[in-house]
Amino acid sequence: MFALYQLSEEHVAIREAVREVCNAKVAPNAAAADETSEFPQASYDALRASDFHAPHIPEEYGGAGADALATAIVIEEVARACASSSLIPAVNKLGTMPVLLSGSAELKQRYLPKVASGEGMFSYCLSEPEAGSDAAAMTTRAVRDDNHYVLNGVKRWITNAGVSEYYTVFAVTEPGIGAKGISAFVVEKSDPGVSFGAPEKKLGIKGSPTREVYLDNVRIPADRLIGEPGTGFATAMRTLDHTRVTIAAQAVGIAQGALDAALDYVKERRQFGKPIADFQGVQFMLADMGMKLTAARELTYAAAARSERGDADLTYFGAAAKCFASDAAMAITTDAVQLLGGYGYTKDFPLERMMRDAKITQIYEGTNQVQRIVMARQLLKGVI
């Protein structure tokens, strides 16, 4: 697929390097990770060895210093090979973004080098059993006790929970005032009182564990507060403006993998004496798939550019990219399964896995119904 504009030589080189790593050391693990529902450690090791596990970490903290577009390209290419593995760089960005946006210099220096080196991954704990789309309704509490905070509560749908060493946790520090009473903290896996639920049994992305995180009188130093008290919810929303772009990139990658597999198949599969790629009905399906994918990629890259610059219209573009790309990924993977007929419905080919993986991109980091609300509000404000 071609972009409407020319990517820099650096971005092209990053794509080529990630694709080489993924073809050799990530794609071979994808089916097994899905079948066993186990974290693809070999894929993590390969990404870590190549500095693709958390490419967004700035160079001053030992990271690769990739910009938002380069990070999106990394996630896209990993997702093309294995959607579960693409959540390694994506969730590392999600978990650390609050620290990057609002954390103190000391907090950044304490944790970001560890993520950059691969010493530990970073997860994001916002949702709760009764606080999903309505995240401000959370009940997890953080009570100040001298130079510490004591956290109690349950976080649900936490990606890479139990594997990650570090967690950005949002909790109520001042009850009764809604979103303005929420603060953000860094919690470590090793902190006494931190435990995890059983892995969720999911439709897709099975190689990325999703668990509840339990906080039972977790006592942490007050200097692990991210930003000022009461600013946590604003930090959470600013984070999602940036990281919805990564979900769009993941969706684009899944869709590209599905289109690639479908193209290979229709050129080889013969019916009525010729390749099924010669039939106009098949060609129309391929054209629609390619058109949707190209549009999704262009919108995702446009959103990534705004993420890097911190543009005022990032909220709109992040929501639009995530919504459009995930809807496109679901449509493209479904059509890819259809093009393979009965074979597409079997695990002999990767399309059924890609179709299952694509579905979650329409749900997490805000459902696509929520994204449409976000976009509409930005339009009504006159931001766009």
Q: Which of 368, 87, 112 is nearest to 249 (CA)?
A: 87
Q: Report the predicted TM-score, pTM, of the whole model to 2 decimal places.
A: 0.97
Q: What CATH number has the domain spanning 233-381? A: 1.20.140.10
Structure tokens at 105: 């210099």
Q: Which CATH superfamily includes the segment(s) 122-232?
A: Butyryl-CoA Dehydrogenase, subunit A, domain 2 (2.40.110.10)
Count other Cβ atoms within 10 Å, centred on residue 29: 21
Task: State the pLDDT at residue 353.
Answer: 98
d(CA 247, CA 274): 39
Q: What CATH number has the domain spanning 9-117? A: 1.10.540.10
Tens of pLDDT along the chain (384 residues) come to 444 568 999 999 999 999 999 999 999 999 999 999 999 999 999 999 999 999 999 999 999 999 999 999 999 999 999 999 999 999 999 999 999 999 999 999 999 999 999 999 999 999 999 999 999 999 999 999 999 999 999 999 999 999 999 999 999 999 999 999 999 999 999 999 999 999 999 999 999 999 999 999 999 999 999 999 999 999 999 999 999 999 999 999 999 999 999 999 999 999 999 999 999 999 999 999 999 999 999 999 999 999 999 999 999 999 999 999 999 999 999 999 999 999 999 999 999 999 999 999 999 999 999 999 999 999 999 998
Of 76, 128, 352, 365, catalytic: 365
Known catalytic residue at 365: yes
Task: State the pLDDT at residue 6.
Answer: 81
**Cβ atoms of 279 and 341 closer than 8 Å:** no
- HEC profile for the chain? CCCCCCCCHHHHHHHHHHHHHHHHHCHHHHHHHHHHCCCCHHHHHHHHHCCCCCCCCCHHHCCCCCCHHHHHHHHHHHHHHCHHHHHHHHHHHHHHHHHHHHCCHHHHHHHHHHHHHCCCCEEEECCECCECCCHHHCCCEEEEECCEEEEEEEEEEEECCCCCCEEEEEEECCCCCHHHHEEEEEEECCCCCEEECCCCCCCCCCCCCEEEEEEEEEEEEHHHEECCCCCHHHHHHHHHHHHHHHHHHHHHHHHHHHHHHHHHHHHHCEECCEEHHHCHHHHHHHHHHHHHHHHHHHHHHHHHHHHHHCCCCHHHHHHHHHHHHHHHHHHHHHHHHHHCHHHHHCCCCCHHHHHHHHHHCCCCCCCHHHHHHHHHHHHHHCCC
Residue spans in the chain of domains classed CATH 1.10.540.10? 9-117
Residue spans in the chain of domains classed CATH 2.40.110.10? 122-232
Q: For the chain, give the longest Cα–Cα distance.
A: 80
Residue spans in the chain of domains classed CATH 1.20.140.10? 233-381
